[in-house]
Amino acid sequence: MKLVALITVFMTGALLIYGVEDMPGWGDPNSPASSHVSPRYIQEAMEKTATPNMVSAVLADYRSYDTLGETAVIFTAGIACILMLRKKRKGEGE
Amino acid sequence: MLDYVISKYNFWIYVILMMIGLYAMIGKRNLIKKLIGMNIFQSAVILFYVSISVKAGATVPILSGHSYGHGELIEVAKYLNPLPHVLMLTAIVVSIATTGVALATLILIYRRYNTLEEDEILKIRRDTGV
Amino acid sequence: MDVVYSSRPLWAVLVSMIAAFLILATGEKNRNIRESWTIIAAFVKFFIVASMVPLILQGKVIEYTIITFYPGLLLQFRIDAFGMLFGLIASSLWIATSFYSIGYVRGLKEHAQTRYFFAFAMCLTSTIGIAFSANLLTFLIFYEMLTIATYPLVIHSESPEAVKGGRKYLTYTLTAGCVLLFATGMIYYMTGTLDFKAGGFLAGSGSSSVLIMLFAMFIFGFGVKAGIMPMHEWLPTAMVAPTPVSALLHAVAVVKAGVFGCLRVILYIFGPNLLHNLGIWLIMAYIVSFTVIVAGFLALGQDHLKRRLAFSTVNNLAMIILGAILLTKSSMTGAIIHMANHAFMKITLFFCAGALHVKAHKDYVSQLDGIGRQMPMTMGAFAIAAIGLSGIPPMNGFISKWFLCMGALEANQIIFLFVFFTSAMLDVAFLFPVIYNSFFKKPLDDVTPHFDEAPMLMVIPLTITALLSVVFGIAPDAFVHFFSITTIAVQNIMGVG
Amino acid sequence: MVEQFAALIIVAPLIASLIVPLIGWRQKRLCYPWVVAVLVVPFICSLGVLNTVLTTGKFSYRLGGWAPPWGIEYAIDHLNAFVLVIVTFISLIIAVYSKKSVEKELAEEKIAPFYTLFLLLVTGLLGIVITGDVFNLFVFLEISSLSCYALIAIGEEGAPTAAFNYVILGTIAACFYLLGVGYLYIATGSLNMADLANILPSMYHSKVILVAFAFFTVSLAIKGGLFPLHTWLPDAYYTAPSVVSALIASLMTKVSAYVMIRVMFTVFQPHFSVDIVPVLPILGWMAVFAILFGGIKALAQTDLKRMLVYIVVAEVGYIIIGVSVANRMGLTGAILHIMNDAVMVACLFLIVGAIFYKTGTRDINKLHYLNKKMPFTMAAFTITALSMVGIPPACGFFSKWYLILGTIEAGQWVYAAALLCSSLINAVLFFRVIECAYLKPLNPVNAHTGETHMIQRDEAPLTMLAPIVIMAALVILLGMFSGNIISSIIQFAVPASF
């Protein structure tokens, strides 16, 4: 079992490192990640959303739908815990 | 070669972290250790994302006081990429939620079997014929 | 060829399906109403089918498209002469079987009669669907439906033996269904069409090894139901079913659907020319000849009357296929007309076996000594059908045998002439002792020495089918023009070839 | 107007799920009608959306009005409009069914959180299907997964362990997915599917893209329960409460299969998935083993639900085979099978739930006389079983037919053989059950128990029976009208380059 796990882990690691080869260097300002979509956030955020914090602007405006999902995740987790744990306490009390 | 390694050291670190986490998740027999592995794994992914956003010589993506003026062109290279941060805020929340649910399941398991060792649980289940 | 568009084929198929659900809805409580649905549906179905005969005789084709699944894949009915013949056989014999069934299940106070009649009606729906299919996909759909609809009938008695028979039946037929599905897919991939075409449409669409493989698959797929050896195993086992089911299974619906499928493949998908060129027809002919002879010998060894008849069925079906695979005009005529003739004779024989079972509770040949005095009508009908099956004039069996033998000569294959002769001898050998024993031997102790027939609901249908065997022997074209239809079918196939 | 429908599909169940605990606080009985009523909304909306797509073609809905790729969009085309209808309809039917089963299997105080999570699970699935943004997909994937973990954990003996295993593997899958997204982002800078599809072709030989693709595939194979990554699936689906099993067995794996098709043929172009990466043969072989393994394991079970669970493992293989042959016929079959299998599996699980509700057993050998006790349920079971075997005119035949045509076209004989084999295995499986339920006990010792006295009809309550009957009818109808479905929807859902 451990061997299988090790093999899996090393295969995954090798795969990830294999991919690293073609990645842009760390901190390269011209990498696609920094040059395709994100410049617009940096330039427009203030103007469009009147928020100096771009992270907030993106979080709560551009990608607010993700944030809605995020709150739903927390809500799900809360209800999930209630669902799973609530009965037992009552059961013990009885 | 050394340059190559150094220029991408963020990736090496996250890959190693991820491998540790993944190994714990698959290889460990204790459920709590699996859970810890899961957290390490998730943190590795988060680190990976955050490291994407880095630009050499840039600062946090918050406009400082003097650039509040209207119409003034904001220099892109001066600020970090905000998007990965946003994504990771979501991912962090997700990972916390997952951990919470996983812990709740562990509580259920512990209540039922009085142990969190996978082998012991399997043994109990086999003995009770379930 | 003129095409007439009409929804009559659809109604011919649907009427028994509607009846099936009415039967289910009526249930056990109102038995007479339930049975009347069967009877009404049987008659309506027959008249719808028969009403289309004149069009067929004019050389027309009746077509109706239900659904288009995909370009080139249609759920479509097209009645040509060959399909019409099969449809006529099935629908006309359903009337007889319906009456007989009612007498049979009531005579034995069978359980689960609703299920029985429901499944029976569904069987007929699928059979007519098979007969009228315009293409292989439609054929396959109804063919699989038939497999399933027959299952409740095979396991009807719910005894361990029946369940086992049912399992065997399903194993054989569903495996065959899978093979057919694959082969059909191959044909669609190779040609882009699945429409039956008189004289075949596969020529030139693939290498000969692929075509031979496909042919083998089809013959395996349909041969299971048609009882070609060595795939016949399920058939005698399925004899645990109630007798009307055996009659239907072994004379009309299931095995004939298999034979019909084989003939469709031989004559309408591959076509005589292609089979000639591929050279597999002769191999195939030897295989079925083997079945003809061996089944005849096996029948000799059976004491259980229904099992004996089952092997006789295997023998006759193989003969039909042999006729088709000889690929000559006469042999084809013989094969196609024998589908009809064999149906009438064999159903009579099974009906008689059922009547013996219900009235005298006799299932074995050795128990039948002197039974002819108690049940002269039943045994008389049995004698007529047996004589017919052996190919003695003036019965209808003679006509088919005549054409088949002619075909063997036309094909310059004398050996198959001997196969037909041997088969006729064997027919005599395993059927005539039954007649002799029942009429001329001293009655056994438990035989009532005076006239004491089975219920009239059973005797009348079997008398009628026996009489029809004679009528069709004297006038093959009587009533529904079996012979003319056969001739048209053969002309269509050979005309192209 | 129709654009708002698209938003409502997600928003309605999400908002409604917030209200369920409040309702449960006051009056527990009202949770059920509320959930049913709410789930009608996404169903109607998804029909509206499908109709729009059919008449005017695909469209996109910008959330918050931000243009993609900066904002998030719903990208609705034939494929996901079709899957949306399936998901909304089946969840609605299962919600209708849930009342009695939940009341029986769960403690009273769990009903409100149960229904909350039920809605959230549906929301998550719908969100996955409707979105046009790869990261947003992850968020909804997590909503559905989390609610799924919890819903499984409250099942019978052994459920928490099964749920925890699922948490671990589910999280690995989710993290792999996230890694895939990260790799795509680092290479392209975009998260929008359509935008990615535009950018990616120029960099198909980049190793980053290859790795991203590999992680997507592994992740979705885990989520979809594809052999050999299915290990979490049987226990989780088996131990979950009946209603939950029905919902997740019929929808979770299908939605994963949808995402796989989406990633392989929309985000990446077929050219990449077929020609550049050798992933399809691997997936195909995995699917073949899934079919055989699932079938053989199912044969070994005496518990009806466990048997179905392994059948689900096999059925995933069907869809993946359709994907892996990568031609028009195969994909048509795969997409058709997403629908057919969802309906069939849901129907079977609902029936097992109803049998369990009435008789308290799922042991195949204890089902005797069930045809007398529950005639309609068993009739529905028979129809669905025949469909699983692939008997026309039930829908299972048609997806199998297209899948086989696909394998023939691709010249993959082994795949075809696996599909045919699976038909036969299914026949054995289901006829074993049918024999037990319809025929008298073979064992003469038991014969005296039922032989003499009449078996009373004891059918499941209407809220359970009606969904079962509707699903069984659909099994036939979808088969009969499969031609129409293909010609009007699926042929446009298959990527045009095939």
pLDDT value, residue C252: 73
Q: What is the pLDDT of residue D5?
A: 84
Per cent of chain C over pLDDT 70 is 99
Residue D468: pLDDT over 60:
yes
- Of C15 and D366, which is predicted with more confidence? C15
pLDDT at residue C163, as a whole number:
86
D387-401 average pLDDT score: 89
pLDDT in tens, D9-34: 999 999 999 998 888 888 888 889 99
Distance from CA of B67 to the nearest CA of D (A): 23
Asked whether residue A5 carries a pLDDT value surpassing 90, the answer given is: no
Assess whether pLDDT exceeds 60 at residue D450.
Answer: no
Rounded CA-CA distance A68/D143 in Å is 11
Q: Tell me if chain B has a CB within 8 Å of the CB of A82.
A: no
Judge whether residue D71 has pLDDT over 50: yes
The answer for D 123-162 residues in CB contact with A (under 8 A) is 123-124, 127, 135-136, 139-140, 142-143, 146-147, 149-151, 153-154, 160
Mean per-residue pLDDT for D54-81? Answer: 87
- The answer to whether C165 and C238 are in contact (CB under 8 A) is yes
Question: Which of A8, A59, A73 lies nearest to residue B94, judging by beta carbons?
Answer: A73
Within a domain: A88: yes
Report the run of H or E that residue C197 belongs to, with start and end.
Answer: none
Q: Please check the confidence at residue D232 and state whether its pLDDT lies above 50.
A: yes
Mean pLDDT lowest among A69-73, C159-163, C170-174, C400-404: C159-163
Q: In this prediction, what percent of chain C has a pLDDT beyond 90?
A: 11
The reply to whether A91 falls in a domain is: yes
The answer to whether residue C497 scores a pLDDT higher than 50 is no
pLDDT at residue D47, as a whole number = 92
Looking at residue C160, what is its pLDDT? 83
Which tens digit of pLDDT belongs to each residue from C337-347? Answer: 998 888 888 89
pLDDT tens-digit series, residues D184-227: 888 888 888 888 888 888 888 888 888 889 899 999 999 988 88
Question: Would the CA dihedral through C383, C386, C391, C396 be positive or negative?
Answer: positive
Q: Which of B102, B125, B130 sits opposite D167 (nearest CB)?
A: B102
Which residues of chain C lie closer than 8 angstroms to D335, CB-CB? none
Residue D1 confidence (pLDDT)? 65
Pick D63's closest partner by Cβ from A40, A65, A73. Answer: A65
Task: List CB contacts (< 8 A) between A18 and chain D.
Answer: 207, 210-211
pLDDT tens figures, C120-156:
899 989 999 999 999 898 999 999 999 888 888 888 8
pLDDT of residue A91: 47
Task: Look at residue A20 and tell me if it is in a domain.
Answer: no
**DSSP-based three-state secondary structure for C5:** strand
C-alpha–C-alpha distance, residues C350 and D264, integer Å: 60
Contact D161, D35 (CB under 8 A): no
D208 touches chain B (CB under 8 A): no
pLDDT in tens, C298-332: 888 888 888 888 888 888 899 999 998 988 888 99
List, in order, residues 6 or more apart from D262 with CB less than 8 Å away: D79, D80, D193
Give yes or no for a contact between C461 and C96, defined as CB atoms under 8 angstroms apart: yes
Question: Average model confidence (pLDDT) for chain D?
Answer: 88
- Chain B residues with beta carbon closer than 8 angstroms to that of A6: 23, 27
* pLDDT given for residue A94 in this prediction: 38
Closest to B90 (Cβ–Cβ): which among A5, A70, A76? A70
Q: Which residues of C touch D390 (CB under 8 A)?
A: 144, 181
Which residues of chain B, if any, have pLDDT below 50?
Answer: none
**3-state class (DSSP) for residue C66:** strand
Size of interface B-D (CB pairs under 8 A): 78
pLDDT at C396: 84
The pLDDT, as a whole number, for residue D460 is 83
Rounded to an integer, what distance in angstroms lies between the CA atom of residue D78 and that of residue C261?
A: 39
Which pLDDT score is estimated for B66? 57
What mean pLDDT comes out for the span C210-223?
A: 90
Q: Mark which residues 55-74 of B lie under 8 Å from D by CB.
A: none
pLDDT of residue A44: 81
**Residue A76: partners with Cβ closer than 8 Å, 6 or more residues away:** B97, D117, D120, D124, D143, D146, D147, D150
Q: Do D391 and C181 touch (CB under 8 A)?
A: no
- Higher pLDDT residue, C377 or D444? C377
Max CA distance (Å), chain B: 75
For A70, the domain range is 37-94
Residue D137: half-sphere exposure toward Cβ, Cα within 13 Å: 30
Mean pLDDT of D145-170: 90
Residues of chain D contacting A84 with CB distance shorter than 8 Å: 150, 153-154, 160
- What secondary structure, in 3-state letters, does chain D show? CHHHHHHHHHHHHHHHHHHHHHHHHHCHHHHHHHHHHHHHHHHHHHHHHHHHHHHHCCEEEEHHHCCCCCCCEEEECHHHHHHHHHHHHHHHHHHHHHHHHHHHHCCHHHHHHHHHHHHHHHHHHHHHHHECEHHHHHHHHHHHHHHHHHHHHCCCCCHHHHHHHHHHHHHHHHHHHHHHHHHHHHHHCCCEHHHHHHHHHHHCCCHHHHHHHHHHHHHHHHHHCCCCCCCCHHHHHHHCCHHHHHHHHHHHHHHHHHHHHHHHHHHCCHHHHHHHCCHHHHHHHHHHHHHHHHHHHHHCCCEHHHHHHHHHHHHHHHHHHHHHHCCHHHHHHHHHHHHHHHHHHHHHHHHHHHHHHHHCCCEHHHCCCHHHHCHHHHHHHHHHHHHHHCCCCCHHHHHHHHHHHHHHHHCCHHHHHHHHHHHHHHHHHHHHHHHHHHCCCCCHHHHHHHHCCCCCCCCCCHHHHHHHHHHHHHHHHHHHCHHHHHHHHHHHHCCCCC
Domains and CATH numbers, chain B: 2-62+76-127 (1.10.287.3510)
Q: Which pLDDT does position D288 carry in this prediction?
A: 93
- Ordered by start, the domain boundaries in chain D are 340-498
Q: What is the reported pLDDT for D352?
A: 92
Contact residues of A toward D, CB < 8 A: 15-16, 18-19, 21-24, 31-38, 40-41, 61-66, 68-70, 72-73, 75-77, 79-84, 86-87, 90-91
pLDDT at D448: 45
pLDDT, average across residues C364-391: 87
Q: How many cross-chain Cβ pairs, A to D, lie less than 8 Å apart?
A: 130
Helix (H, G, I), strand (E, B) or coil at C80: coil
Q: What is the mean pLDDT of residues D273-280?
A: 83
| D and A touching (3 or more beta-carbon pairs closer than 8 Å) | yes
List of chain A residues whose C-beta atoms are within 8 Å of the C-beta of residue B104? 80-81, 84-85
Q: Tell me whether residues A61 and D211 touch, CB distance under 8 A.
A: no
Which of D234, D245, D471, D235 lies closest to D356, judged by CA?
D245
The model's pTM is: 0.92
Average pLDDT for A10-22: 84
| Paired tokens of C319 | 């003969």
Q: Does pLDDT of C359 surpass 60?
A: yes
Residue D46, chain A, CB below 8 Å: the answer is no
C–A contact: 3+ Cβ pairs < 8 A:
no
Distance from CA of A31 to the nearest CA of B (A): 9
